[in-house]
């Protein structure tokens, strides 16, 4: 099925954002089909409501364990009663099934996304990703920011260079388009107030609060290592990364910081080797040849990494973050671990858990 019409309403505040999405899907075929739509959300974005239109009215969905919901959907499909199933295949990747979508006809759904806005360099950041190859006939977007201190700034994507206007005490941006291809994100940034902000809510006899506190510390941490350890994912799935790009990044890092000594530890479900290279201003190529000649095979077990056994100035982990053998994570023992990712299918949430915020996508 194809996405025919799409309407999105976003309301963002000092702490959270709520996104309401309405989609109309069209079946261009000569026979009815079971519709499938797959999409991705950002880490931290959670779907809290889902509705399917039946006879001109929206019907609320219920939250169930995945296997229960799938079994119920399959039973209802067999009875030819209109069902819809929205499930998460894995972290941040979702699948929508609708049955039936009649020939030359449409079905509508809505869903609501809640999230805690993250801050970076004095801004609250929002992004809703899209990757739809079909041309959407009608698209409508409304964004309201209730943060009064300053106007939000549009970021590259669907609303690039579009301006927010004042709407009473709020800021608003509306955008409508016809025959649009949604292949980028809706993204904007809200300037943080220079003063701390607090929000309170009373439920019964209990008062809850949220506090936005901005410590007076340098947001950047300068490093100047002369020795690094590189853990290189040599599992079968590791070959799907952009290996040449990762080697180029490592070359630039070595040259910029004048790294004198580098230890490379390839691994899959176990540590495979330990090789130490003495470098000469980043002009040596022996380590490049070593990485280019690695054979990728076996499962991935990130838990086989223990930084306490190396104790280097800086550790880099080149991986897509996906365990295929067990679920253990590297043992850091307080050492800094930087994760480098060049895969479009990386598990960013897992990499953030391993490295804090030191995840670089290249």
**Domain at 130, CATH number:** 2.60.40.1730
Whether residues 37 and 178 fall in one domain: yes
The burial of 132, by beta-carbon neighbours within 10 Å (0-12 exposed, 13-18 middle, 19 or more buried), is given as: middle
Round to whole Å and give the CA distance between 287 and 275: 9
Q: 222, exposed or middle or buried, with CB in 10 Å at 0-12, 13-18, 19+?
A: exposed
Where is average pLDDT lowest: 59-73, 181-195, 254-268?
59-73
Mean pLDDT of the chain: 86
More confident of the two residues 357 and 350: 350
Tokens (6 digits) for 33? 């089909």
Q: Pick from 169, 184, 143: which is nearest to 152 by CA?
A: 143
How large is the average pLDDT for residues 287-311? 88
pLDDT at 281: 59
Residue pLDDT, tens place only, 15-28: 899 999 999 999 99
- Measured CA to CA, the distance from residue 94 to residue 135 in angstroms comes to 21
In this prediction, what percent of the chain has a pLDDT beyond 70?
Answer: 88
Does residue 301 share a domain with residue 181? no
Regarding predicted confidence, which is higher, 232 or 280? 232
Structure tokens at 226: 């002369």
Q: For residue range 73-100, list pLDDT tens digits in order.
A: 566 555 445 578 888 877 788 989 888 8
- Read off the pLDDT of each residue in 281-286 and give the average, rounded to a whole number: 68
Q: How confident is the model at residue 336 (pLDDT cuts 50, 70, 90)?
A: confident
Say what the pLDDT of residue 79 is: 46
The closest of 87, 86, 84 to 101, measured between CA atoms, is 84
pLDDT at 233: 95
Q: Which range of residues forms the domain containing residue 338?
A: 227-361
Same domain, 184 and 304: no
**Does one domain contain both 133 and 255?**
no
Instruction: Give the number of C-alpha atoms closer than 13 A to the C-alpha of residue 332, restricted to the C-beta side.
Output: 17
148 and 15 in a single domain? The answer is yes
**pLDDT band, very low/low/confident/very high, at 225 (cuts 50, 70, 90):** confident
Same domain, 115 and 255: no
Task: Of 46, 40, 146, give the one whose Cα is nearest residue 95.
Answer: 40
Q: 136-156 pLDDT, tens per residue?
A: 999 999 999 998 878 999 999
Dist CA 139 CA 154 (whole Å): 18
Residue 219 within any structural domain of the chain: no
Q: Are 165 and 32 in contact (CB under 8 A)?
A: no
Let me know if 247 is exposed, middle or buried by CB neighbors in 10 A (0-12, 13-18, 19+).
Answer: middle
Q: Regarding predicted confidence, which is higher, 8 or 359?
A: 8
Q: What is the pLDDT of residue 357?
A: 53
Do 186 and 319 share a domain, yes or no? no
pTM, two decimals, is: 0.59
Question: Do 16 and 82 fall into the same domain?
Answer: yes
| Residue 47 confidence (pLDDT) above 70 | yes
Report the share of the chain in percent with pLDDT over 90: 48
In a 13 Å sphere around the CA of 23, the CA atoms on its Cβ side amount to 24
Q: Do residue 174 and residue 59 come from a single domain?
A: yes
pLDDT above 60: residue 53: yes
Average pLDDT rounded to a whole number, residues 28-38: 90
One domain for residues 168 and 239: no
211 inside domain: no
In a domain, 303, yes or no: yes
Which CATH number is 298's domain given?
A: 3.40.50.410
């Amino acid at each position: 099925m194809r996405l025919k019409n799409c309407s999105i309403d976003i309301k963002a505040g000092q702490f959270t954002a709520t996104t309401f999405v309405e989609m109309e899907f069209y079946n261009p075929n000569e026979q009815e089909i079971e519709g499938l739509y797959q999409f991705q959300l950002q880490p931290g974005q959670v779907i809290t409501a889902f509705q399917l239109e039946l006879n001109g009215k929206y019907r609320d969905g219920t939250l169930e364990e995945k296997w229960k919901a799938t079994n119920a959907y399959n039973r209802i499909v067999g009875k030819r009663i209109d069902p819809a199933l929205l499930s998460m295949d894995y972290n941040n990747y979702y699948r929508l099934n609708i049955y039936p979508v009649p020939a030359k006809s449409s079905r509508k759904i809505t869903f609501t996304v809640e999230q805690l806005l993250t801050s970076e360099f004095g801004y609250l950041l929002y992004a809703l990703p899209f990757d739809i190859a079909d041309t959407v006939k009608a698209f409508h977007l409304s964004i309201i920011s209730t943060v009064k201190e300053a106007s939000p700034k549009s970021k590259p994507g669907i609303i690039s260079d579009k301006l927010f206007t004042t709407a009473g005490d709020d800021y608003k941006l509306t955008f409508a388009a016809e025959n649009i291809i949604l292949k980028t994100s809706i993204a904007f940034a809200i300037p943080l107030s220079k003063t701390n902000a607090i929000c309170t809510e009373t439920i019964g006899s209990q008062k809850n609060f949220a506090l936005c506190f901005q410590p007076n510390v340098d947001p950047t941490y300068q490093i100047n290592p002369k020795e690094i350890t590189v853990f290189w994912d040599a599992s079968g799935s590791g070959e799907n990364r952009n290996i040449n790009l990762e080697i180029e990044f490592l070359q630039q890092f070595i040259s910029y910081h004048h790294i004198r000594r580098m230890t490379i530890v390839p691994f899959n479900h176990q540590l495979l080797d330990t090789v130490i290279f003495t470098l000469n201003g980043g002009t040596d190529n022996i380590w490049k040849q070593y990485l280019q000649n690695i054979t990728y095979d076996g499962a991935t077990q990130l838990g086989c990494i223990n930084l306490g056994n190396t104790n280097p100035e800086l550790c880099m982990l080149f991986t897509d973050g996906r365990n295929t053998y067990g679920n253990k994570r590297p043992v850091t023992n307080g050492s800094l671990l930087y994760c480098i990712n060049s895969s479009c299918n990386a598990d960013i949430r897992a990499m953030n858990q391993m490295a804090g915020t030191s995840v670089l996508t290249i």
